[in-house]
Structure 1
Amino acid sequence: MIPEELLKKYNGKVKDYESGDFIYEENTECQGYFQILSGKVKLNNYSEDGKEFIQNIFEAPQSFGEAVLYINEKYPANAIALTDCTIIQLSAKNFSMLLKEYPECSLEINRNLSRRLYYKMIMSQHVFSKNPNVRLKALMDYFKNTHYLQKNSDKEYLIPLTRQQMADLTGLRVETVIRTIKSMEKENLLIIKKRQIYY
């Protein structure tokens, strides 16, 4: 992502958030570019009956919220600190200046936006699947391919999600996720160590 020193050069402001804090809310005006220095952030929506749907989860050094900077729209989801986290924020104007003067950063941002769009397309293909294995495998593939630092490694990747978060990301019930994960372990598609999932 964009080096922290470069963000600070363009007047990036560092702010700490506690777990559960809103960084921004759905349907509010775009506030700029956000990059995580430490911790995790989730993008979510709530249904009319209060059920949570998680759109995505980001961790350091990923960025979020930048898609609406290009189209000047309101945020389509909430951004909430999933853990205590430190985030650097850059105003829309300074973000635009940075990208003009450092086009290589623009390429990296476009790459990340493309990855997210790809994920949404993959998940939309599987969201209507009645087979929970298909939904969960697509989710784990996405996290392994976008979050894992050792690309193309044979080592197992620790899925950084709770069973509840996996349910919220796939539209499944948590009981279905638990049952399916156990079934996938029996099929040697993943490993469970100390209740953590390695894929």
Structure 2
Amino acid sequence: MQKKSELLATSLLFNGLPAEQLSKIAAIAVGKHYPKGATIFHEGDPGIGFYLVANGKVKIFKTSFDGKEQILHIFGAGEPFGEVPVFYGSPFPANATTLSDAELYFFPRNEFVDLVTATPSLALNMLAVLALRLRRFAAQIENLSLKEVPGRLASHLRYLMEEQKRRDKVVLDIPKGQLASLLGTSAETLSRIFGKMSEDGLIRVEGKTIVILDPNGLQEH
């Protein structure tokens, strides 16, 4: 239980809560293991609770009628997902699948709502997480609707630079095929754009590592 509480304390959702409250949250958290490629929930499933990634990666995506997949989010350690239905009592609005072996914590809706009701600071943390999620959605909508694919890729690389706190290079945390889906394009188009950015002296591709040769030029995309 101590290890679980320590992990919860590092997440944005539960950051800053006192040990007593973390213990109560840990008590209702149910540990679940999923192998790579496992379905966590489908779009339309009842929103009976939400999840937090202990380790591994999870993708949230929607599928069109013709089978095309659009990735909405990629979540890693310490990040919650599926939390909106907790308050609305609505079905999950998208699908969730593991991108690697993953350890998750599941928080049942009724028990968690009881904790939020009794813990105002937890409610404030939830608002902060939802506000951050809304900001990411707004940025993604802007990228998909207003920018061409090179601009979307440049924006994503700048996002990784900020997240990884580096300006010289970043490491892609998902395969290029998954990145193409996240950016709303095909793997072939993404490969061509990586090649064009390399030719233009903006980046150098070394497998999953993208060396940033011209941060200012990348900013102009």
TM-score range with shorter-chain normalisation? 0.7 to 0.9
Alignment partner, residue 177 of structure 2: 164
Alignment partner, residue 71 of structure 1: 88
Three-state SS of the structure 2 residue aligned to 1:141 is helix
The CA RMSD over aligned residues, in Å, is 2.3
Alignment partner, residue 21 of structure 1: 38
Give the structure-2-normalised TM-score.
0.77
Alignment partner, residue 179 of structure 1: 192
Identity %: 25
Determine the C-alpha separation between the residues in 2 that align with 1:34 and 1:175: 33
Unaligned runs of 5+ in 1: none
Q: Report if the CA contact (8 A) 2:169-2:210 is conserved.
A: no
Q: Report if the CA contact (8 A) 2:42-2:94 is conserved.
A: yes
Deviation at 1:47, TM superposition (A): 1.5
- Rate the CA distance shift 1:40–1:180 in 2: closer, same or farther, 3 A: same
Determine the C-alpha separation between the residues in 1 that align with 2:168 and 2:25: 33
Determine the C-alpha separation between the residues in 1 that align with 2:203 and 2:48: 40
Three-state SS of the structure 1 residue aligned to 2:205 is strand
Unaligned runs of 5+ in 2: 1-10, 16-21, 213-221
Residue 59 of structure 1, aligned match among 69, 76, 82: 76
Deviation at 1:87, TM superposition (A): 0.5
Determine the C-alpha separation between the residues in 2 that align with 1:198 and 1:105: 39
- Rate the CA distance shift 1:42–1:102 in 2: closer, same or farther, 3 A: same
Structure label with greater radius of gyration: 2
Alignment partner, residue 86 of structure 1: 103
Give the structure-1-normalised TM-score.
0.85
Higher helix proportion, which one?
A: 2
- Equivalent positions of 1:2-151 (< 5 A) are 2=14, 5-9=23-27, 11-129=28-146, 131-145=148-162, 147-148=163-164, 150=165
Deviation at 1:96, TM superposition (A): 1.6
Output one character per residue of 1:1-24: Cα deviation in whole Å (capped at 9) or x when no partner. 237755322x21101001111111
Aligned residues: 194
Q: Report if the CA contact (8 A) 2:169-2:209 is conserved.
A: no
